[in-house]
């Protein structure tokens, strides 16, 4: 009997913000319970940011250099296989609750299609049970039915009860803890689950928005954590000193403003710069974010209680698309080359396997689709860059465990040209690639200077040593390793296929 599969993603969740990760403050009892009954991959990394590029890697098993979704709104080439299509071929009916943020290939839809005016497209292969895009229409319908006034603009639903603020605030929104969009989506999935025919295996993807901004959460989560507690921020003594590390960081210090994180109208160029905040602002923001995590943890617990009560064979995968800077390096959001934006949770529970508990080997988002397909005994995605992690669930290491991770970040702005103008770069020079292992992190930028961090001596990534004579051999070695990685993984769709007198030979079959 094939298992059920539940893929849960929570948006913008840092990998260190888990109780099981020994975070000194954050409590996630439900996720910890899931991890204790499965396998927690403690050093798991996303492949890209923001949401669209990262999810393209998660869904296709391809690095960004192959799927080429470089920004939110970049179309996903329809030629690429993905987890929904592969699971459908395996006999499942892939069902989505939430969003996938995969922009439509314009060659596959009519020229006047509404899907060409949004980055919030649906990954091909999914049936949509509930689509919850940025304007959260279905959630607003539900709130309205519960007696709430529908706001004129969708983002006003997040306004604090005390009114608009461009700084962190503990003021809750007008909806309660059982009325969040997380609770709404969890309820939709549970209603669907209750209606499933007995004995028919299913594959569902529940894609939660939170703890993505805006940074606001109802009682009691808004007051769950003391802003004065928690670890020290990983950053230089001042924002100005931090910005001198690299031109891209200086650009982001200028660009990251409060409009996207709080409740000023979106894209307000007059909104304050985050880098101008004081310590108290960052600490309060961090406490609110931790409360948002606990709110999502509660809804995941609600789902897991039902899954466990059914007693069915359900494989559960919990992860995130990318992390959150959360005040480190005087920034918020997700960008660039710092670990905080790319280290994310990954927990896999397969009730048919004992689970490893904790895995400290490096793993990547491109590994998730191959893992799911192996767990349901389905053929793999052809030429995927990731590899299955299923052996870890048996307590065994794969034949070639990773000794490093890679990610890419593209900061081009095709619509506005803002990054190109500010940094003096051509469109295709606005990109970087990262290789990170136990000791070093090397960042190769197409059109800007490289960076090298000695993580043993500088775990906070404050001192770029790429220009120091003592590190030149290291810099060359890691640049060559990055080049070998790219050479090994560049599009391999047919590179293992040969047409012969005896027919087609596929070396990867």
DSSP string over 205-243: EEEE-TTSSS----TTGGGSS-TT-SPPP-S-SSHHHHH
Segments in 90-245 forming alpha helices (H): 137-145, 181-194, 239-243
* Bond into 295 cis (ω within 30): no
Q: How far apart are CA 332 and CA 272, in angstroms?
A: 13
The torsion region of residue 340 among left (phi > 0), alpha (psi -120 to 50) and beta comes to alpha
Q: How far apart are CA 307 and CA 392, in angstroms?
A: 23
Q: How far apart are CA 412 and CA 215, in angstroms?
A: 26
404 is catalytic: no
349, exposed or middle or buried, with CB in 10 Å at 0-12, 13-18, 19+?
buried
Cα-Cα end-to-end distance for the chain: 25
Helices 51-60 and 368-375 pack at an angle, to 10 degrees, of: 30
Do the beta carbons of residue 317 and residue 372 sit within 8 Å?
yes
Number of H helices, E strands in the chain: 12, 14
Q: CA 423, 428, 433 angle in degrees (round to 5)?
A: 85
Quick check: helix, strand or coil at residue 176?
coil
Collect all residues with Cβ–Cβ distance below 8 Å to 334 and sequence separation of at least 6.
12, 49, 50, 322, 323, 324, 325, 341, 342
Burial letters for 332-348: b for 16+ Cβ neighbours within 10 Å, e otherwise? bbbbbbbbbbbbbbbbb
Q: How far apart are CA 256 and CA 247, in angstroms?
A: 14
In three-state form (DSSP H/G/I as H, E/B as E, the rest C), the secondary structure along 309-335 is HHCCCEEEEEECCCCCCCCHHHCCCCC
Phi (first) and psi of residue 153, to 5 degrees: -115, 135
Q: How far apart are CA 10 and CA 181, in angstroms?
A: 12
Catalytic residue, chosen from 17, 51, 188, 404, is 51
Looking at the DSSP bridge assignments, the partners of residue 165 are none
**Residues assigned a catalytic role:** 51
């Amino acid at each position: 009997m094939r298992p059920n599969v539940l893929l849960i993603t929570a948006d913008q969740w840092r990998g260190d913000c888990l109780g099981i990760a020994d975070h000194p403050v954050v409590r996630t009892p439900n996720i910890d319970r899931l991890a204790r009954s499965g396998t927690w991959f403690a050093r798991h990394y996303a492949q890209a940011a923001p949401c669209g590029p990262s999810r393209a890697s998660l869904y296709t098993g391809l690095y960004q250099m192959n799927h080429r979704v470089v920004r939110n709104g970049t179309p996903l080439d329809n030629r690429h296989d993905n987890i929904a299509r592969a699971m459908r071929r395996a006999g499942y009916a892939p069902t989505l609750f939430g969003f996938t943020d995969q922009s439509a290939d314009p060659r596959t839809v009519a020229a006047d299609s509404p899907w060409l005016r949004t980055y919030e497209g649906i990954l091909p292969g999914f049936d949509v049970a509930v689509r919850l895009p940025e304007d959260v229409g279905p959630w607003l319908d539900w709130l309205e039915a519960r007696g709430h006034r529908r706001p004129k603009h969708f983002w006003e639903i997040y306004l604090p009860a005390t009114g608009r603020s461009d700084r962190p605030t503990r003021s809750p929104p007008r909806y309660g803890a059982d009325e969040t969009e997380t609770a709404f989506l969890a309820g939709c999935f549970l209603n669907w689950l209750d209606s499933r025919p007995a004995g028919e295996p299913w594959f569902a993807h529940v894609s939660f928005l939170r703890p993505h901004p805006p940074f606001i959460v109802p009682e009691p989560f808004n007051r769950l954590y003391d802003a004065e507690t928690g670890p020290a921020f990983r950053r230089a003594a001042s924002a100005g000193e931090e910005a001198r590390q690299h031109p891209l960081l200086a650009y982001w210090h200028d660009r990251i403003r409060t409009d996207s994180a709080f409740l000023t109208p979106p894209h307000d160029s007059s909104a304050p710069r985050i880098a101008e905040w004081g310590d108290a602002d960052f600490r309060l923001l961090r406490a609110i974010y931790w409360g948002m995590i606990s709110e999502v943890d509660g809804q995941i617990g609600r789902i897991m209680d039902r899954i466990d009560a059914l007693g069915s064979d359900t494989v559960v995968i919990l992860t995130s698309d990318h992390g959150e800077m959360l005040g480190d390096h005087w920034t918020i959001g997700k960008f660039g080359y710092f670990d905080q934006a790319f280290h994310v949770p990954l927990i896999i529970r397969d009730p048919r396997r004992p689970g490893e508990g904790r895995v400290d080997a490096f793993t990547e988002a491109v590994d998730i689709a191959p893992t799911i397909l192996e767990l349901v005994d389905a053929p793999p995605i052809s030429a995927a860059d990731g590899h299955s992690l299923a052996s870890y669930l048996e307590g065994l290491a794969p034949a070639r465990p990773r000794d490093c991770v890679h990610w890419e970040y593209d900061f081009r702005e095709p619509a506005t040209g803002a990054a190109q103008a500010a940094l003096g770069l051509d469109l295709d020079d606005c990109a970087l690639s990262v290789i990170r292992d136990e000791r070093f992190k090397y960042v190769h930028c197409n059109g800007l200077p490289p960076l090298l961090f000695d993580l043993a001596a500088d775990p906070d990534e404050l001192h770029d040593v790429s220009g120091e004579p003592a590190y030149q051999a290291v810099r060359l070695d890691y640049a060559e390793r990055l080049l070998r990685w790219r050479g090994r993984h560049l599009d391999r769709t047919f590179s293992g296929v040969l047409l012969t007198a005896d027919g087609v030979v596929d070396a990867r079959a």
